[in-house]
Amino acid sequence: MTDPKNPFEQMMAQAQEMAKSLNPTLESFSPKGFEKLWPTMPKEFMEMSFGKGVNKDGLDAKTRMLLTLAGLTMLGAQSDSQIRLTVRHALEAGATKDEIAETIAHMAMFAGIPSMNRAMDYAREVLDEAEPKDKEG
């Protein structure tokens, strides 16, 4: 009998079977949280790389990170890892939780409420993890 799956589904199933045979722990692998493998850049490095190093009167790192977050939300908040990573970098660059939430909420008018909700959920994951550090320091 023939399997009614489309070619992409067959390719994905085959890749999953191959990954499981090579390493059984990959059966439960999830890319969620994958961005945690990347370190958070210090604010000074962000300023040097993305802003003040090129144009001393240009945008600061915090503003650049908030603009990036707005853009990712506008794209439909499809890139969960990138959103969480950008929120982490925005916090490091000096953005407050309220500024991050306001940036995402502002995009509801342009990207739609579903995109805003998705982006807010991803951001909340990072903000909730950052909360204990705020209370300690």
Question: Is the pTM here over 0.75, yes or no?
Answer: no
Continuous segment of H or E residues that includes residue 86: helix 80-92
Distances (CA, A) of 79 to 52, 115, 134: 27, 11, 26
CATH for the stretch 33-136: 1.20.1290.10
Q: Looking at the predicted structure, is the pLDDT value of residue 137 above 60?
A: no
Q: Could you report the per-residue pLDDT of 49-58, keeping only the tens digit for each? A: 766 666 677 7
